[in-house]
Amino acid sequence: MTFQSKRTPVVDDAFMERFLDAWKRQSVEDIISMVTDDVVLESAFGPDPRGKRFVGKKAFAEGTVRFFEVMKDMSSTDRTYAIMGDKGFTEATRTYTDADGKRVTVRVCDIFDFRDGKVASKRGYIKRLTAE
C-alpha cells in the first residue's frame, strides 16, 4: 500500500533533523522552540487509552522532562522518519534501563501533526521487544 500526500510539506527534512537531534541531546529548550503554543503530547505510557496527555508548551515541557528522567540512559538506533503534508512519523529502536535495573529494548513510533512550520501534536507508541 502506498500513501501519496496531496499537500505540500509543512516542515522539511532540516526541521525534522533539528527536532530529532534536540531529542537525542535531551534539550527541552530546543524541543519546545519547535512546537506550537497549543501543542498536544500523547505519551506512550499512562492511565488513559491514549497515554498520559500533555496540552500546551508548559505541559509538553514537563512531560518531556519526565520522559528524560525516566529514560536517563536511553539510546536510539535505526531512526527513520517521513513527512507527508501536515503529518509525519518517526520509527526507532530504543534501549534503556527501567526502574528495576533491567535493560529494556523497545520499538517506538511517533506520529506528528504539523502546523505553521512547527509540531502541533506528537503521539507515541511503543512495542516492547526485550527485558533482561
Encode pLDDT of 17-69 as tens digits: 999 999 989 999 999 999 999 999 998 887 777 778 999 999 999 999 988 88
- Domain, as residue range, for 31: 13-131
Q: What is the CATH number of the domain that holds 53?
A: 3.10.450.50
Asked whether residue 40 is assigned to any structural domain, the reply reads yes
Asked whether residue 1 is assigned to any structural domain, the reply reads no
Asked whether residue 8 is assigned to any structural domain, the reply reads no
Q: What is the pLDDT of residue 132?
A: 57
Single pTM value for the model: 0.86
| Cell numbers given for 25 | 541531546
Of 118, 100, 101, 127, the closest CA to residue 44 belongs to: 127
Encode pLDDT of 69-124 as tens digits: 888 788 888 999 999 999 999 999 999 998 888 899 999 999 999 999 999 999 99
Domain count for the chain: 1
Q: Which residues contact 82 (CB under 8 A, 6 or more apart)?
A: 88, 89
Q: What is the pLDDT of residue 41?
A: 95
Residue predicted with more confidence, 92 or 1: 92
